[in-house]
Amino acid sequence: MHLVTPHRAALAAFAGLLGLGIGFAPATGTVASPPPRQEVAVETLAVAGGVHVLVGRGGNVGVFVGDEGVLVIDDQMKPTEQALFDAIDALSKAPWRFVLNTHVHGDHTGNNASFGARAPIVAHANVRARLADPKRDGGPLAAPALPVVTFEEGLELHLNGERVRVKHFANAHTDGDSVVFFERANVVHTGDLFFHGRFPIIDLDRGGSVRGVVEAVDELLTMLSDDVRLIPGHGALARKSDLVAYRDMLADSLKLVEAAQREGKSLEQMQQERVLSKYAALAQQPNSEQRFLETVARELGAK
Ligand SMILES: [Zn+2]
């Protein structure tokens, strides 16, 4: 997901998931009810070797804790701010050492201002450039919300007896993607290079590419052991085989759309015929089959 603009269906689905019963039915009676306060729950799961994942609203947050301090990977968006602070404080009282943004999207960087006040933000140079861009939707972020340590290829963080390797993959989900490897724990946070169990959003307008994701995942797969635990950008914890299945779905989708193009089909025809319907089970608002088809077709130049 990126730059999530909550709309009713998504909010209702979200509320339903949490069992909060937040409804959007019109108010009955003559006095309008106050809008329901939106509760946000964050679930904490231990992965391995001090690495945890926090699942709330937005991208999966990685939290690495130990005696020397805390590393936080991604920070979701405004509604989860306090719930994330509470969940991280419950894991560790140690000082925060670094906050890392896996990429630019608002559902991964939306709490940068308050998280950046607790530790320096680290990200690929393009993440900072896009967040600071005067032409950014909603305006450039103020200095406290911007990454202060940037890199081009990658870097290593040494913390809690662990070597944390951060590696950039070019032009995949965006043009500023990072994957985070915890070597001892054998855990990898993939950022949005991997949407587990759902269609991906791939941001062609910010340097992303479907083919680029396939190439990045191919390279990433060569770097993973068979028993690695994967924290995807979105979706449940995963294994290497899940990432292989995801890669194959992307490559197959490219082939299916190319074949339709060779038959002279327009995007509209492809949508009517639902050329990606075999993957319909991966649809999850707002990551719909048609939206993904549109992304693939657009990348391939379909009219
Ligand atoms: Zn994203």
Ligand 1 mean position, distance from CA 49 (Å)? 26
CA 51 to chain CA centroid, Å, is 17
Architecture of domain 40-240: 4-Layer Sandwich (3.60)
Percentage of the residues of the chain whose pLDDT score is greater than 70: 87
Question: Mean pLDDT across the chain, nearest whole number?
Answer: 90
This prediction's pTM? 0.87
* 49 three-class SS: coil
DSSP 287: B
Ligand 1 mean position, distance from CA 266 (Å)? 28
N-to-C CA span, the chain: 25
- Predicted confidence band of residue 33 (pLDDT cuts 50, 70, 90): low
- Per-residue pLDDT at 121 exceeds 80: yes
Domain ranges of the chain: 40-240
Ligand 1 mean position, distance from CA 201 (Å)? 7
Mean pLDDT on 204-224: 98
CB-CB neighbours of 78 under 10 Å? 15
Where b means 16+ CB within 10 Å and e means fewer, 132-155 reads eeeeeeeeebeeebbbeebeeeeb
Angle between helices 289-299 and 240-262 (to 10 degrees): 60
